[in-house]
Structure 1
Amino acid sequence: MKRTLLTTLLTLFAAAAFAQRGGVTATVVDADTGESVVGAVLTLTPVKTPEKKQYFTSAFKGAVSIPSLAYGEYSLSVAFLGYNNLDTTFRVSASKVSLGLLKLKPGVQIETVVKEAKALRTSQKGDTVSYNAGAFKVVADADVEGLLKKMPGITVTDGTVEAQGETVKKVFVDGKEFFGEDVTTAIKSLPAEAVDRVEVYNKLSDAAEFSGMDDGEGYKALNIVTRPGMRQGQFGKLYAGFGYDADTETEDKFKYIAGGNANVFSGDSRISFIGLFNNVNQQNFSFEDILGVSGGGGGRRGGMGNYMVRPQSGVASVNAIGVNYSDTWGKRNQVTFQGSYFFNNTNTENRSTVEKWYEAPMIPDTLSTNGYSDTKGYNHRFNARLEWKISENQNLMIRPRFSYQSNDPWSRTTGWQYGAPADGGSGYSRTDNFSDALRHGYNVGTSAVYRAKLGKNGRTITLDGSFSYSDNTNNSNSWSNVKPISDVRPGAGDDPLAWDPADYTDLRYLRSEAPSSSYSLRGSFTYTEPVAKYAQVSLQYRISYNSQERDKRSFVTDDDTFTGGVLNPLLSNSYESGYLTQSVGPGFRFSKERNTFIANVYYQRSALDGQIVRDDAEKIKHAYNNVTYFMMGQLNINRENSLRLFVSSYTDSPSITDLQSVYDVSDAQNISHGNPNLKPTYSHRVNFHYTNSNVEKGRTFMWMFSMNTTLDYTAQHLVQRPGDITIDGQAYSPNFYSTTENLDGYWQLRTHLSYGLPIGFLKSNFNVMAGVIYTKTPSMLGGTVDAATGMISGGERNDTKNMGYDFRAVLGSNISENVDFTLSWNGTYNEATNSLNADKSKNRYFNHTAQGNLKVVFPLGFTFTASAAYSQYIGFTNDYSEDYLLCNVWLGKKVFRNKRGEVMVGVNDLFNQNQAFSRSTGSGYTQNSTNSVIGRYYMVQFNYNLRRFGKKGSRNIKDYDGVESSSGSRRMGPGGPGGPPPGMFHGPR
């Protein structure tokens, strides 16, 4: 019996010992310089079972993390191109084992024989997908944007980057922020040649990274890992060109472009410059729209937006400069700094047309307008991030920011809205609107986060606070037609072109002054406590206060001199408001072996205290109580498959301008009125991501699904041709009258697939993407306007449903740096229906673009660059077709001994067919619109690539180009081909 018991115990102890596992960490560095080596391949072999080999790669800063190895002895071999292999052994006998620094000694550079191996395209670790830049060959002086366009699951449209179905909010370089939130500038400021890997991941907020508690405020980000040999030196690209436009009659005949970027890297100290000056509509930046001039600013509960937007439609002359600086200070590198400053000045001219058909259930009318605008804009933007690691357990981060924006727009729009009454239309009205404004404003603020670990692992506190102040002025002169609708067709009679403007036009002239200011205070406290080895609970309290003041005064003047005038109370709007929002709630987090589940719930109370400053001093007070939640699950099935699920809710409270019971008759043909009974919207959101990365075969598959539904959606109630409306003794006969009201039933569903694979016999990468998006938007149509309250009674609900199908295929060459081509096709098919349409007919339209780009470098350094894009828009329901072919051709010659220079001669829009056309649908309408574009011009351009690497600033290829990427498949020497002129391969401009 004793022997049996002893044997059993020994067996159990042996099994337990055998089952024990430990984690291993290490850092791979250069033995001579001490610099980290990224992408080194580690081969791990158990001594007892040598057939069970495992492979790992060193990540950012050379870090190696092997989460789980069975206890025992292992042999390790570390390899990287240009270094001698490092062979060693170690034993795992504890839960955590550190191998310290694995030092690789540089080997002999062999240039006589080069064996090219098939590069690994992607790898995956948790929610991070890493793209090996060496597997995607581009021309030698292409920028990061050109590299991203060849990677599966990533799309770049007008400088906006979307990865795995989500918009990328920030770009990091070696883990450090690069040009703040301006993704467009970031991807155009680094050459593709400097990139070793591109990592796509879900970036946690600053507070969540320290506490480990995902607070749901993260975002999609890109981390560009630079090649080790290019972290010491200077590199970049400079270019200048001059051209002539023989076809234009309205734009500048002489064309010019100059600019470039320069990067000075010295270890952790890095500075990057970017500049662009041209009148050919090349734009490489976004700006912070603090004035709301692009339709996205303003925002709720504070008025001053913080939105990075692309410039508006039209042809722009651009002057832009920017600088980004980052460094690390202190004996223990405890202080890190990143900052950027950007300035741009634009002058944008635009000639636009709109054709808008109102269909059932609306009255069948047509709106046809022509417009011209000239807008001058100035933007200054500064932001910085200073992080101080006070100690191992304390951390302080400060983010100061400042932006200034000036906007000087001039615009004129004329046209008609018409529909013969005999055919069911509502009559004829003249559109004549003019505006000349001067807007300027600034936004200054800072945020700070203090984080501390309280001894026990997982026990933390986080204090987060911010302050911002904004001030802006908006002065304008404008006129608008207030003439009532006529039943008589213009030009009726013997001469159909003759019509008397006095019969259809009665202009009202306005001079407006609208200064406003706002400030916001925000703070939060978060406490986390471990409750088990892999679990934490948290408690968070948040408070914010937003205050805003606005004093708009409008004066009706006698003529277009806009002098003097009488204050019009209906067009004037002065108010002050304060929004206090508080939320508190617990959270729970479970994380084991990179599998994570997080759940947070909050009770939220928002209180609005406002006042409309008029003779009767209308008070507006509202309080809202809500419960919001956030849940996230991350499941890493294995090294190649991962699932990620987000489920959350959020609220959006109406602003004081939404709630005020006053009319807006600034456009007499489109009058609106506030709704004091509006409630906050309450939305539920679901996001699901599945990623599969087959490293051996170089295949990548991604599936994304999202759902968004909103209760109490802020919907428009629209009455077309409401008849005569008397407001404060003045009679109006507008085309449209609208208010807002809460309706349930807003839905948006979207799914997106992406699949990429290499095609060996073509030496190319093939990526295919497809998606479906469904949107249902509720609204109210029709009814009667109550002159006493300004509200609309009656009417019927109309649900506008849009179903869109999109498909994109891209074939990108991977032959060599001397032959680079990309072929792509993308198409979108849309169907729109309105529930009030009795016959339930669908508005169907389709648009697609086929595009090809080619660059070839011939012997003796001659180059040929060309691009062609054919775009077509087809309206099936309205029997509409619009198409054009955009073709650019350039011939070039490499110059200088190292062939870093290139002289190019070419033509933009060879057939002079370029257009900017778009189609959209809404509640009872279809709209076609066009905007100005750059047409055909001829240009001579010179490009020069700056390359100077190594501690002594060597120009020798051996000092930097011999250091290959982790794949060893790409060799980019200075004699490689030059890239196309900036914007050469972009779509219509």
Structure 2
Amino acid sequence: MKPVYILFLFVVSFVNAEAQVNPVAKGKISGKVTDATNKQPVDYATVSVYKQGSTSPFNGISTDTKGNFTVDHIPAGEYKVTADFLGYQRATIEHVIVKDGNVSIGEIKLSPVPHQLQGVTITAKTPTVENRIDKMVYNPQNDLSAQGGVAIDILKKVPQITVDIDGNVELQGNANIRFLINGKPSSIFGASLADALASIPASQIKSIEVITSPGAKYDAAGTGGIVNIILKDSRVEGVNGSVNLSAGTRRENGSFNLNVRKGNFGVNAFFSGNAQINTNAPNTRNRNSKDSLNNNTNLFQQGSNNFRRNGYQSGLNFTWNITKHDDLNASIGFNHFGNHGNGITNEDSRKTSATGSLLSDTSDIRNSNSKFNGTSTDVSVGYKKTFDKEGQELNVLYTSSFGNNSFSSFQQQDYLNNVKPSTGISNTNPGKDHETTVSVDYTHPVSKNFTVETGGKLDFNNINNSVATSILSPDGVFEPSAAQTYSFKYDRKIYAYYLSASASLFNNFLDVKGGLRDEYTVTNSDFQGVNIPNYNILAPSLVFSHKLDATQSIKLSYTRRIQRPDYGDLNPFLNISDVHNISTGNPNLKPEKGDNFELGYNKSYDKGANINIAAFYRRNTDDIQSFTTFYPTLDVNGTTYTNVSYNQRYNLGSEIRTGINIYASVPVTSKLSLRTNMIFSDRTSNNPGFTSVSAFAYRLNLNAQYSFGHDLSAEFFGNYNSSQKGIQGTNPKFVFYNLAMRKMFMNKKASIGLTASNPFAKYVSQSSTTFGNGFYQTNLRLVPVQSFGISLSYKFGKLEFKKDNRDNKEDDNMNNNSDNPPTEKPKDNNGGGGKSK
């Protein structure tokens, strides 16, 4: 705990010192960017401000729809201003003198590139990490070690996120995260998050947005925050696309993107797929337990599990700019993922009395098999209307996600020396998950410095599944078990409304955004003994942001969140693939509630370095956690199992997590750049009937990238996660590292890459403990992570650069020949055009 507070105090002291020596700059630079040939405004052009003589910008902005821009908070001094837009030559204004007040540099004229491109030969350099007032954005375009990988590989590098060896994701130490794709929910995440994230190829991902303090416009779901995965698309006129293929010793994947845009209409189509090649993971489990007579039982299990995974996605996205004020977009996507595991385990159960005399000793060989398959079809239609008043807009969104999931397991125990008949169980658990949402959002700028947002949302979620179980009879035949065959229906409706406002106060000294979201939840279930009352939650949010000067800012935020249990948490299906370790869901779970505070500081430097520090305090009540109970004998609907660890999710007391996240990016030389992300946190769990547990944990990573010139570059990425004590044991530590190289050719349209993961060790050893009333257990897993791979990428297409002149026409209609600007318009907080989540 002490290191957290020391770092926290350091942040506060450092910010105070910087604020004293760097008074708020009051200068401004304004102007207008136009096309030099037709005099039309160039909207969304990039304007950058450099200190005279510097090679890296320290401030910048995009032009508005009229080509105008104003860059404020500029200290007195001499500057260089540049304007860029895809398809135009850069324009530069030298020696701009700024004092207190506004400096207008008038009209900046951009000249079109003299020759039309025959292929995709212009690439905009996007910073790897962008820090914005409400979120951090990770752009993996230059992520060499993730090439040929999947979403999990990229998430390992995202600031404030930790990923363990099994693909479980935490945001600032909290695993209850609301995942979105392109700003929209998907049932693909409900059944198996790790499988879903392992089925999205890294080549398909444009960026990942991390939102730790979501505003009132977002759903209140997710006590940890929101992670929004933005898939690649294109807003460029013409036909273009890309192909990515990779092969390796552990994983193979490929993706194909095609973008077509003509005038006001655009289509994006994609297909991607991946497969994790079969891997074998040895494991050992040793458990000591006592029964009510103080007899001791030692269960020793040793075996291995073969595991493989596969998945694919495809989709179509349509955009239609009906008029200059009316946009329509629609999409349909299909996702599939699955896994298959099977293994053989040698088991020995030795029971002794309190005096040490042997009571029984049995050995058996257990064969097990499990399969999971999930599909999701996502449909969305969105309408956006803007008005003559800048910033005023209306958004309407309909989404529907249809998920089909199926899980089956089988296990059979054959006892040595035929001391008793073989036992076994086989079951299937097909299910459906359907979620439909309708949202309306409206933004109204009351004045230049004051904006109001309001909206509402309906969210209907229905889960329906069944369980069919068969038991191995003494004569060796699997027979249906009526007592363990049942169905489970769960219906949840959420009615939400929000109101928020943002303002710049005291002559732009302080930016404030606050809001309140109200969500009323109605839940029905037909499962025996389950009765969940309706509940209402008020979720306030408040953000204060102050720009100390042009290079540094601070932010203080508060938000209240909830975590409703999802499909996997609720499903009462009993996984008995191991009769000594049974797990199940809990349909009686209540939502977890969280109050999150965060203090952030960000500073950039002339040479391009950047540091971001975020101190956080999170308190959860009705905390949803897994808990293991030991039973010497356990009756499951008429079948008795012995020596059982029974794992289920519960609402357990409260949890407080205090910590600090430090992200830094440093261009050491023109060829070498370093990035690091460090998280230090202390977690205190208070659970009725148990001793309060306090545990310190940290995560460190380092990313080094070097450019050899001639379009050849290399990268190293290393990650260390410490172990952490929980309420029932200790989670294991692990070390993971990647090496990668990439060579680009054909004018950067094609590339070949080589990757190696943990090349000097076949396994990562995972040692953990679990304990509770009457038992103590040690676990050892050897997780195969070593891999070598090769990836190929090719971009194709023809680009045409035409400016959209709709703002200068009195009569717009769907037959005009204008198009969207070739760069993407900066999106709102949701990454999806102002939609309510």
Question: TM-score, structure 2 length as denominator?
Answer: 0.66
Partner of 2:268: 338
Per-residue deviation, 1:446: 0.8
Residue of structure 2 aligned with 1:546, choices 457, 461, 469: 461
| Change over 3 Å in CA distance of 1:84–1:223 after alignment to 2 | same
Output the CA distance in 2 between the equivalents of 1:98 and 1:222: 39
Partner amino acid for 2:682? Y
Is 2:279 aligned against 1:349? yes
Is 2:515 aligned against 1:600? yes
Residue of structure 1 aligned with 2:611, choices 684, 698, 701: 701
| Change over 3 Å in CA distance of 1:626–1:360 after alignment to 2 | farther
Output the CA distance in 2 between the equivalents of 1:944 and 1:665: 43
Structure 2 counterparts to residues 123-522 of structure 1, below 5 A: 144-146=142-144, 158-166=153-161, 187-188=202-203, 268-278=238-248, 280-281=249-250, 283=251, 318=252, 320-330=253-263, 334-356=264-286, 368-375=300-307, 377-405=309-337, 407-416=339-348, 432-437=365-370, 439-453=372-386, 456-479=389-412, 500-503=416-419, 507-522=422-437
Is 2:494 aligned against 1:524? no
| Change over 3 Å in CA distance of 1:87–1:41 after alignment to 2 | same
| Change over 3 Å in CA distance of 1:126–1:350 after alignment to 2 | same
Output the CA distance in 2 between the equivalents of 1:545 and 1:453: 28
Structure 2 counterparts to residues 50-65 of structure 1, below 5 A: 65=69
Per-residue deviation, 1:352: 1.9
Partner of 2:471: 556
Secondary structure of 2:332 counterpart: strand
Identity, in percent, stands at 12
Secondary structure of 1:158 counterpart: helix
Partner of 1:590: 503
Residue of structure 2 aligned with 1:771, choices 679, 686, 693: 679
Partner of 2:449: 534
Partner of 2:121: none
| Change over 3 Å in CA distance of 1:909–1:568 after alignment to 2 | same
Q: Tell whether the 8 Å contact from 1:810 to 1:823 is kept in structure 2 after alignment.
A: yes
Output the CA distance in 2 between the equivalents of 1:204 and 1:752: 12
Output the CA distance in 1 between the equivalents of 2:449 and 2:310: 52
Partner of 1:238: none
Residue of structure 2 aligned with 1:103, choices 111, 114, 126: 111
Partner amino acid for 1:915? Y
Per-residue deviation, 1:746: 1.8
Per-residue deviation, 1:641: 1.2
| Corresponding pairs, count | 711
Gaps of 5+ in 1: 1-18, 108-118, 134-142, 150-154, 173-180, 191-197, 232-264, 284-317, 484-499, 781-795, 836-841, 858-893, 953-989
Output the CA distance in 1 between the equivalents of 2:138 and 2:433: 44
Partner of 2:624: 714
Per-residue deviation, 1:507: 3.5
Is 2:764 aligned against 1:916? yes
Output the CA distance in 1 between the equivalents of 2:665 and 2:46: 22
Q: Tell whether the 8 Å contact from 1:645 to 1:687 is kept in structure 2 after alignment.
A: yes
Output the CA distance in 1 between the equivalents of 2:255 and 2:275: 12
Output the CA distance in 2 between the equivalents of 1:429 and 1:28: 84
Output the CA distance in 1 between the equivalents of 2:314 and 2:556: 35
Q: Tell whether the 8 Å contact from 2:498 to 2:518 is kept in structure 1 after alignment.
A: yes
Partner amino acid for 1:165? Q
Partner of 2:176: none
Output the CA distance in 2 between the equivalents of 1:699 and 1:560: 72
Q: Tell whether the 8 Å contact from 2:467 to 2:573 is kept in structure 1 after alignment.
A: no
Q: Tell whether the 8 Å contact from 1:718 to 1:737 is kept in structure 2 after alignment.
A: yes
Output the CA distance in 2 between the equivalents of 1:405 and 1:434: 24
Output the CA distance in 1 between the equivalents of 2:667 and 2:261: 40
Secondary structure of 1:734 counterpart: strand
Partner amino acid for 2:500? G
Residue of structure 1 aligned with 2:552, choices 636, 641, 644: 641
Secondary structure of 2:144 counterpart: helix
Question: TM-score, structure 1 length as denominator?
Answer: 0.58
Output the CA distance in 2 between the equivalents of 1:738 and 1:581: 29
Per-residue deviation, 1:694: 0.5
Is 2:481 aligned against 1:567? yes
Residue of structure 2 aligned with 1:629, choices 540, 545, 551: 540
Partner amino acid for 2:256? V
Output the CA distance in 2 between the equivalents of 1:35 and 1:126: 26
Output the CA distance in 1 between the equivalents of 2:260 and 2:731: 54
Partner of 2:725: 832
Partner of 1:304: none
Partner amino acid for 2:593? Y
Output the CA distance in 1 between the equivalents of 2:335 and 2:476: 33
Q: Tell whether the 8 Å contact from 1:339 to 1:382 is kept in structure 2 after alignment.
A: yes
- Report Cα offsets for 1:870-910 as digits up to 9, x if no partner: xxxxxxxxxxxxxxxxxxxxxxxx999x9x99999x99999
Output the CA distance in 2 between the equivalents of 1:397 and 1:895: 35
Output the CA distance in 2 between the equivalents of 1:432 and 1:764: 55
Secondary structure of 1:162 counterpart: coil
- Report Cα offsets for 1:507-557 as digits up to 9, x if no partner: 333343433223222222334444444223333322222222212111224
Partner amino acid for 1:103? S
Secondary structure of 1:917 counterpart: strand
Structure 2 counterparts to residues 788-937 of structure 1, below 5 A: 796-809=689-702, 812-813=705-706, 816=709, 827-830=720-723, 832=725, 914-922=762-770, 926-932=778-784
| Change over 3 Å in CA distance of 1:368–1:574 after alignment to 2 | same
Per-residue deviation, 1:804: 1.5
Q: Tell whether the 8 Å contact from 1:779 to 1:923 is kept in structure 2 after alignment.
A: no
Output the CA distance in 2 between the equivalents of 1:674 and 1:122: 38
Output the CA distance in 1 between the equivalents of 2:406 and 2:157: 35
Residue of structure 2 aligned with 1:689, choices 597, 600, 605: 600
Per-residue deviation, 1:475: 4.7
Partner amino acid for 2:655? Y
Output the CA distance in 2 between the equivalents of 1:675 and 1:823: 43
Per-residue deviation, 1:506: 5.0
Partner of 1:651: 562
Output the CA distance in 1 between the equivalents of 2:34 and 2:542: 34
| Change over 3 Å in CA distance of 1:544–1:100 after alignment to 2 | same
Q: Tell whether the 8 Å contact from 2:45 to 2:84 is kept in structure 1 after alignment.
A: no
- Which one is further off, 514-523 or 93-102? 93-102
| Change over 3 Å in CA distance of 1:325–1:459 after alignment to 2 | same
Which structure has more relative contact order (CA 8 Å, sep 6+)? It is 2
RMSD: 6.0
Is 2:657 aligned against 1:754? no
| Change over 3 Å in CA distance of 1:674–1:645 after alignment to 2 | same
Output the CA distance in 2 between the equivalents of 1:323 and 1:683: 40
- Report Cα offsets for 1:584-606 as digits up to 9, x if no partner: 33322225769643222233222
Q: Tell whether the 8 Å contact from 2:42 to 2:63 is kept in structure 1 after alignment.
A: no
Gaps of 5+ in 2: 1-25, 116-125, 163-170, 172-178, 183-195, 801-837
Per-residue deviation, 1:272: 1.0
**Which of structures 1 and 2 has the bigger CA Rg?**
1
